[in-house]
Structure 1
Amino acid sequence: MSDQRAFRCFGTRGLALALVLGVAAAIVVAPAGPASAAVPGLVRISATSPGSSDDFRSVTATCPAGKVLVGTGYEITGGTGEVVVDDFTPNGGPATAPTAVTVGAYEADPTTANWTVTAYAVCADPLAGLVRISAASSTDSNDFHSATAACPTGKVMTGAGFELTGVTGEAVVDDFRPNGSIASAPTAVTVGAYEADTFVGNWTATAYAICANPVPGLIRVTATSALDSADFRNVTATCPNGSLLTGAGFEVNGATGEAVVDDFSPNGGAATAPTSVISGAYEEDAFAGNWDLRSYAICADR
């Protein structure tokens, strides 16, 4: 059959039908585009203070323009258990997304060693509903203080922070514990702190939670070190394959203020998304008891 006879046989309606079927076939065979990341644009930014033997130093890590803070970390270099983090404070508020974290640290006992403090900011493209929530303990001279910051109903927690007020290096954060599990999203963080040495003044512990609208795949992963009386230990919590780290936490068990978490470092970099966090702790004074360290990773779908 010639082309002209075919056109006369099927007519203009037949030609239109053929065109529609061709388009439909093209749609069926077209490859699917990549799914959007649960937390797009995730990177880790760092800032380090000068090194010296001063009693106190502070540094702020700020997210690049257009990004927001979803998680935090810090590292003390050269302090080997003689330096405690007193302030670990995301900015922002209950109606404002955080964009930076400030880390301040004091010498617990005088040391002539030079040391530095590094702040880590885990940053991402803007997340819906991102805010910073705070909760404070009582203000008194008790040996132990605790506070839990919980996200508003319907939100989940991507990261956290803490602050000790009034104790200037004489208290140690023992618990920085997000809730949640390998099957459920965290929604709150509990901060617990002990006096490292007897302190007669009044002081307060504040917990900060970084909260957002629900994030696909958000969970909490736990890793625990050996339980013994060694002076130092560290442990790494790693996100499952296909997940990225948004934030983290730690917990010291059995040392009751005698161990200092010196390193709390997410991996990644300024162009690389973090996938794990390492927590490391030294005994602040000689301690004969057994203790362990837990590292918590808050992870979301890649």
Structure 2
Amino acid sequence: MIKTVVSIDLPVDEKLLIKKQVISSLGDDENADQKNNGVKKISIVTGIHGDELEGQLVCFEVQRRIKEHPEFLNGIVDIYPALNPLGLDSTTRSLPAFDIDMNKTFPGFNDGTMIEHLAANIMQDLRGSDFVVDIHASSIFVREIPQIRIPLKFKDKLIDKCRLMNMDLIWASESPSVTENTLCYALNDEGINAVVVDMGIAMYCTKEHCSQVTEGILNLMKNLGIWTGPVGEIKNSIYAEGLDSTSVVISKTPGIFVREVECGQKVEKGQLIGRVINPLKGTVEEEVVAPENGLLFTVREYPVVEVGSLLGRIFK
């Protein structure tokens, strides 16, 4: 059952609509998602940044698995594929025309600006969820392995559920994706369990990553009592805490970065990660090596670099 979460009038007789799909074992009547008499509910949200498409495939895959075996559903699954539909339509990270990162506007204010109103209505609709999974992708510049990011402040209440979710890495930190005014932080601050899933690269759907995340969501649903069907093998996640647990690799010279390793590969200190080359001179300007032993969980995909460009992150 598709429901409208919020509708806002736009110029020239248009509307901004944020919609969700409600899948419930209670039936398809209009109030099925409100009959929370001991019934658990999970919410899957994505598309808050319009250039992050990985979550679109996860939304499809979760629905496909449920539709194949509806008898295994024992609760409510709310799926929000596009919290920023205008950004998604225009492949724009921020909300078009406003140039504002929507994920810095929560919990919002119902009587505030249009964006604050959107944020407040999204928050209101997510209240009543037992767990919220906010799915993101990386930028167009770097690729990420499937990982969970959680606010360091709330790690103790979230960590056990995170270990169920089939991720390569769980990172509790104060990184920008989970700081104050993000959806994840605002929900946790109200007592609603929420995590950020980050993976892949912007403007792309990485099929194997999306399958991995889908399996993790189903395993979490099983733990919550929402799913009674089988799930695949679940990974043991690496746990990292704080920004100091990672080593950032940046470019010291401008040029074209040619990488020599894959995202998710374990590297040793001094190992060659890639080279920055100068196509005009035909020279290698910099050999980029790993500063630490560890897991390369972020690596540069977009080859054009400047001084200070992010080339990789290593979990020590």
User: Taking CA–CA contacts closer than 8 Å with sequence separation of 6 or more, which of the two structures ends up with the larger relative contact order?
Assistant: 1
Higher helix share: 2
- TM-score, normalized by the shorter chain, greater than 0.5: no
User: Which of the five TM-score ranges fits, normalised by the shorter chain?
Assistant: under 0.3
Asked which structure has the greater CA Rg, the reply is 1
User: TM-score scaled by structure 1?
Assistant: 0.25
Higher strand share: 1
